Amino acid sequence: MKVLTAKELKALDINSTWFGVPVEELMENAGRAVAEELAERVELVGKRVLVLCGSGNNGGDGFVAARYLAERGARVSVMLAREPRSSAAKRNLAKLRKLGVKVKRLRKQRFDADIIVDALLGTGIKGEVREPYRSIIEEINRSSAFKVSVDVPSGLNEAGEGNCVAADLVVTFHAPKPGLERFPTIVVDIGIPPKASRYVGAGDVVVNLPERRRETHKGDYGRVLIIGGSLEYHGAPLLSALAALNSGVDIVYLAVPEVNFEATRGFSPEFIVRKYGGEYFSTEALSEIEAILAGVDCVLIGPGLGVREETARGVVELLKRCSKPCVVDADALKALWDKLPIKGSELVLTPHAGEFYALTGERLPQELEERVEVVRKWSTQLKSVILLKGSVDIISSSEGEVKLNETGNPGMTVGGTGDVLAGLIASLIAQGMSAFPAACSAAFINGYTGDMLLEEKGYAFTAGEVAATIPYAIKDIFERFGEG
């Protein structure tokens, strides 16, 4: 069974809500499981049980466990390190108080109990635990009580290290956590739906999008270079640029052929526009573009680029020279037939079914699971992240980890939504995400944005409206799912 990190666990909890099983239901199942596992090992009737609860959802699990332990005849008391933060934990504390269970503030003291339930600190601690928890943990360990920890022993950090509660039993949820091999541990299923880990959900966005610090400066949240446009197509790179800027990147550079320069520069004062000679991208443009590459965090190449032979040679040469992560979209994908893997940059490839065939020479099967295996095979073979666009997006890492995304709707068949998606991916990478979570999060945000527009306007919306609505979609995701 895979050991999950604190970030993966938080994403799972949020995704569970997204897929219809709210945190409060998981909390109920978790607390009940703790009481049941304890009852199988220890006589509870008349025993003094002290439940120590922190301010997070781990403390909420403790409140539920206290309720079930009291119902089994234990003499339960609860001590709070801090008041609970999440609404689910607050509601469970209120239920506990209605039962008449004693609840007091936790202070440094000797713990006199037969059983101690440790629900102080969950996953996600970095480094060594600080006061007041350090002294509390030391006092727990001095006690002769039977000690059961909820999910992880308090003080165990995200690397599975640190001074922590010396638990006699750990009841952990869904999957093992780092460091639990040192403790008697039982893994219990608390009802997280399978889709929460297999499909991209709101949790993938909430846990991966970088937090904004107060003391920051221009460029701290990324610089993107978008290379695109041709005599026939000048709008595609602009849609990518709008998506990148509207998803939070600080600076967007646009490199376009001279024939597109004036139209591109006149579109918005917020882009930094550079030109190269002629009507199409080619190897001759690289001398102009290389001067920009050193100062950016991610490159997107492909929107509106055209499919001329000299353009294809330019794409391949750029990817060989570039050391930055690159998103390869649209016409640039066609240039890579029989050229991958390319040593140099970390690549994200974003084909639809037709482009996938042009890229690999293999036609995709209709059945989803068969498609997944084909995409997985090629992503590992090409040593690239592949985001196969479709009614269900398939995203595969270069190591073969696969997630599916089902946000979006038929209104997104309108031209340009793929350019928006590519700009989103590049923006998230530039802001600090690695390629695979960036591709997953971008697919979710892009579809979520389209679904917001469907609700507002029906199917008649444009790619430009999708790009413009991205900030509102991200805000909505965090307001609905970012608690706790």
* Per-residue pLDDT tens over the stretch 393-421: 999 999 999 999 999 999 999 999 999 99
| pLDDT over threshold 60, residue 484 | no
Q: What is the mean pLDDT of residues 373-400?
A: 96
Q: What is the mean pLDDT of residues 353-381?
A: 96
Best CA proximity match to 137, nearest among 173, 162, 160, 171: 162
Confidence of residue 159 (pLDDT cuts 50, 70, 90): confident
Which of 150-159, 390-399, 442-451, 453-462 is predicted with the least confidence, judged by mean pLDDT? 150-159
| pLDDT over threshold 80, residue 4 | no
Q: What is the mean pLDDT of residues 318-335?
A: 94
Confidence of residue 216 (pLDDT cuts 50, 70, 90): confident
| pLDDT over threshold 60, residue 107 | yes
Domain boundaries, the chain: 6-198, 202-481
Query: 294 — alpha (psi -120 to 50), left (phi > 0) or beta?
Result: alpha
| pLDDT over threshold 80, residue 207 | yes
Distance CA 81, CA 111 (A): 14
| pLDDT over threshold 60, residue 8 | yes
Whole-structure pTM value: 0.92
State residue 220's pLDDT score: 87
Q: What is the mean pLDDT of residues 132-155?
A: 94
Burial code (b: 16+ CB inside 10 Å, e: under 16) for 158-195 equals bebebbbbbbbbbbbbbbbbbbbeebebeebebbbbeb
The top-scoring range by mean pLDDT among 6-10, 31-35, 95-99, 277-281 is 31-35
Best CA proximity match to 177, nearest among 150, 199, 203: 150
State residue 337's pLDDT score: 83
State residue 338's pLDDT score: 82
Residue 32: count of CB within 10 angstroms of its CB: 17
> Strands 223-227, 298-301: parallel, antiparallel or unpaired by DSSP?
parallel
More confidently predicted of 276 and 6:
276
Question: Domain 6-198 sits in which CATH superfamily?
Answer: YjeF N-terminal domain (3.40.50.10260)
State residue 1's pLDDT score: 63
State residue 343's pLDDT score: 73
Percent of the chain with pLDDT over 90: 83
| pLDDT over threshold 80, residue 344 | no
* Fold designation for 202-481: UDP-N-acetylmuramoyl-L-alanine:D-glutamate ligase (3.40.1190)
State residue 437's pLDDT score: 97
Confidence of residue 6 (pLDDT cuts 50, 70, 90): confident
Confidence of residue 483 (pLDDT cuts 50, 70, 90): low
